[in-house]
Amino acid sequence: MRFLKKTRRLNRSLGGDIALFLILLFFGFFSAYPLIMTASNAFKPLDELFLFPPRLFPRNLTFDNFRDLSDLISNSWVPFSRYFFNTILITVLGTGGHVLIASMAAFPLAKYKFPGRGLFFTLVVYSLMFAPQVTATPNYIIISKIGLIDNPSAIILPAIASSLGLYLMKQFMSQIPDELIESAKIDGASEYRIFFQIVMPLVKPAWLTLIILLFQRLWTTDGGNFIFSEELKPLSYALHQIAAGTIERAGTIAAVAFIMMIVPVTFFILSQSKVVETFSHSGMK
Amino acid sequence: MEKTFSAPPLLTKRQLLWKNIKKSKHHYILMAPYAILFLTFTIVPVIMSLGISFSYFNLLEPPRFVGLDNYIKLFLEDEVFIIALKNTLILAVITGPVSYLMAFLFAWLINELRPKLRSFLTLVFYAPSISGNAFLMWLLIFSGDVHGYANAFLMKFGFIDNPILWLKNPDYMMLVIIIVQLWLSLGVSFLAFIAGLQSVDKTLYEAGAIDGIRNRWQELWYITLPSMKPQLMFGAVMQITTSLAIAAVSMQLVGFPSVQYAGHTIVTHLIDYGTVRYDLGYASAIATVLFLIMMSTNLLVRKILRKVGN
């Protein structure tokens, strides 16, 4: 069996290896099929899109769907670049803010003892135990009281406070050797300098993980109940408005789904090994 | 310089605490931005939600205290909530454990492969959970006419004679939601398991083989699972929370509201009252019930998992 690891061939039977291969093949297909169809439909001409049985790969590859999409876009009332800019703004500020602010908080939690530390981290762990939907209603009230309705901050600020990111970052930082920090302190470096110049470069894998977690959440946001002005709406909202339509739009819909899917997936492909490294420290007691 | 040699004055407990706090000034400063946001958008809302749940509140008038009215209505008068509660529990009891076992099983199987193939299959299994709205492809698969992929497949092989209205017939809705939810469910816990398996100490396996471990099942039970306990705990929290909060898949696939509320869940009920009807007191009561269900399930499962292997 050439596809198996070379090392560690202890305790393995051939029958077991064959079963393993078949299980992975079956469920791998189940997992990939809808994604392959999403990708392939985006490149099918309309007649192939409604063909039955559906073709896994298009015979006459075409970019018409993307051209139709861009035609629709250029006719929209708000310039399309505006929606794109809104999404980039929300994604970059939210993701960047989260990485910076969650790391700043994770550092003392991971490396020092001080009053309140245990309580705070316990609250963070407990907050992983309920879904954000629980706090949706009071969040709406708070955001409207602060006056952030119809402001990108209504999406950005709660995302920055995401507790999964802080949790993963703190766990990852815990493995930095204390001696490294101690010796920097002896050399006279301040806490802030230690954080920015020693700790942050060491936890790059964890940044990438935080980026990927927040990126996919913010990239697909449609503004929810928080953003009403057309010129502040994000890309996902605009694309779905275009896609919400009749059967002639089926090709455009496929193109939209493809665009929304391919960006986070590509990002994951590029950072996979670092992300997996981060999760090896995700353990909970 | 003389100061350093003088004996430190005896401090009371409170003074000592204050001294510690002052000494840790920089740590509090570093934590402040996150702590403020976390309290504002996570901790305060939980407390607020509990408070508002005892009131009638529509955002226009000030909230009016109504005692336990919302909870009484929820459990005694609101038949739709009882359906939602039942559906949520069914979905959680099925998708929670199944997705947890699937995430572990696939991570375990993938771990046997060579690194390139392992990376590829990690991507294949993880991609659905980060693919935005790609799950809408299931609308085509479960489309109710003869061209829906599932119908066409089943008719071609003679399992059924007439197309099934997967997304409109209450008998099939839950099945569809479960399938799609499972497809989406290999998320962060799957990554945690992959990572956990890679970091198990390899020498343990060799030592185990010498000590008489004979097959991969014994190896799994006696070496791999105990070494991965922290990741298994983390994965459990993630899967439990997700499986009790199913909503988007239901709303997008079987509709909001679904026929006879057959795909209604606690979260879709919460969305209905919170953002459609603006009955925020009632929505908060729903949220508080959901919060209690999630916390108690998590704490209970955590307690059980801690015992495993001890």
Lookup: tokens for A72:
């629709």
Residue with tokens 């454990």: B97
- The residues, any chain, with a CB within 8 Å of residue B71's CB and separated by 6 or more, are B53, B285, B289
Cα–Cα distance for residue pair B104/B144, rounded to 1 Å: 34
Greatest alpha-carbon pair distance for chain A in Å reads: 72
Size of interface A-B (CB pairs under 8 A): 303
| β-bridge partners, B65 | B55
Among A18, A123, A137, the residue to mutate for chain B (most B Cβ within 10 A)? A137
Which pLDDT does position B8 carry in this prediction?
Answer: 60
Nearest to A138 among B45, B126, B245 (CB): B45
Q: Over 50: is that where the pLDDT of B40 sits? A: yes
pLDDT tens digits, one per residue of A193-247: 999 999 999 999 998 999 988 988 898 888 888 888 888 889 888 877 776 666 6
CA distance A268 to chain B (A): 8
Which pLDDT does position A192 carry in this prediction?
Answer: 93
- The residues, any chain, with a CB within 8 Å of residue A106's CB and separated by 6 or more, are A166, A169, A170, A172, A173
CA distance B169 to chain A (A): 22
Whether the ipTM is more than 0.85: the answer is yes
Which pLDDT does position B113 carry in this prediction?
Answer: 86
Which pLDDT does position B178 carry in this prediction?
Answer: 97
pLDDT tens digits, one per residue of B150-209: 888 898 888 888 899 999 999 999 999 999 999 999 999 999 999 999 888 888 888 888
Cα–Cα distance for residue pair A118/A135, rounded to 1 Å: 23
Which pLDDT does position A32 carry in this prediction?
Answer: 94
Q: Over 60: is that where the pLDDT of B6 sits? A: no
Each domain of chain B, given as residue ranges in start order, spans: 1-52, 65-307
pLDDT tens digits, one per residue of B70-124: 999 999 999 999 999 999 999 999 999 999 999 999 999 998 888 899 999 999 9
Inform me whether the C-beta atom of residue A264 falls under 8 Å from chain B C-beta atoms: yes
Q: Over 50: is that where the pLDDT of B2 sits? A: no
Nearest to A35 among B40, B134, B140 (CB): B134
Each domain of chain A, given as residue ranges in start order, spans: 14-62, 75-279
- Please say whether the dihedral angle defined by the alpha carbons of residues B230, B235, B236 and B241, taken in this order, is positive or negative: positive
Residues in chain A where the model's pLDDT stays below 70: 1-11, 52, 76-77, 243-248
Which pLDDT does position B1 carry in this prediction?
Answer: 44
Whether cis (ω within 30° of 0) applies to the bond prior to B257 is: yes
Q: Which residues in chain A have their CB less than 8 angstroms from residue B37's CB?
A: 101, 157-158, 160-161
Lookup: tokens for A129:
């135990």
Which pLDDT does position A48 carry in this prediction?
Answer: 82
Whether cis (ω within 30° of 0) applies to the bond prior to A53 is: yes
Q: Which CATH class is domain B65-307?
A: mainly alpha
Which pLDDT does position B158 carry in this prediction?
Answer: 85
Q: Over 90: is that where the pLDDT of B221 sits? A: no
For residue A59, count CB atoms less than 10 angstroms from its CB and return exposed for 0-12, middle for 13-18, buried for 19 or more: exposed
Which pLDDT does position A139 carry in this prediction?
Answer: 93
Which pLDDT does position B267 carry in this prediction?
Answer: 96
Q: Over 80: is that where the pLDDT of B4 sits? A: no
Enter the DSSP assignment of B195. H
For A75-279, CATH gives 1.10.3720.10
